[in-house]
Amino acid sequence: MQKTLVIIKPSAIQRGLVGDVISRFEKKGLQIVGFKMMLLTDDMIKIHYSHLVDKPFFKRIKDSMQATPVLILALKGVDAVEVVRNMSGSTNSRKALSGTIRGDFSMSVQENIVHASDSVESSLAELKRFFTDEELFDYSPLIMPHLYSNDEY
């Protein structure tokens, strides 16, 4: 089973979409194994978006991500990284398909509701960035046999 990171962005918080977003992940069958609310510092944003620091739009990203606290989720499931990315939809919400989080709730490239890890490698780094080992939980939901066949998990 994989773990992956999701950040529910200020655009979702400001618009009252937190419950809708979390509900989609839960209804899909992803397990919440870590959850916290925090205000991202300048340093956290520089590290998290290090590949964009030199871009002319980096200030826009920083301002957007600091508009409110964010919610940080660690989700677990078979192929969780790919599942969450597919559920999130295209980064440019105007191109995101209906049925995806961004396709249903956003019209923006920046104000696009969620950040989702884009690979297994980045999910591992991002989970370590935002959670200590003690903040991630390992438990067996009773619904596992109803989510996966016995040879999938």
41 in a structural domain:
yes
Domain count of the fold of the chain: 1
* 124 in a structural domain: yes
Task: State which residues form the domain around 76.
Answer: 2-147
Residues 6+ apart with CB under 8 A from 39: 66, 68, 69, 70
Q: Is residue 39 part of a domain?
A: yes
CATH classification at residue 130: 3.30.70.141
Q: What is the pLDDT of residue 153?
A: 81
Predicted model pTM: 0.94
- Report the pLDDT value the prediction gives residue 23, as an integer from 0 to 100: 98
The CA distance from 3 to 51, in Å, is: 22
Q: What is the pLDDT of residue 136?
A: 98
Residue 153 inside a domain? The answer is no
Active site residues: 115
Give the tokens for residue 87.
Answer: 């559920």
Distance CA 40, CA 28 (A): 28
Q: What is the pLDDT of residue 150?
A: 87
Q: Does 25 map to a domain?
A: yes
User: Domain for residue 152, yes or no?
Assistant: no
Does residue 15 lie in a domain region?
yes
Along the chain (153 residues), what's the average pLDDT of each consecutive run of 10 residues? 97 98 98 98 95 94 97 98 98 97 96 97 97 97 91 87
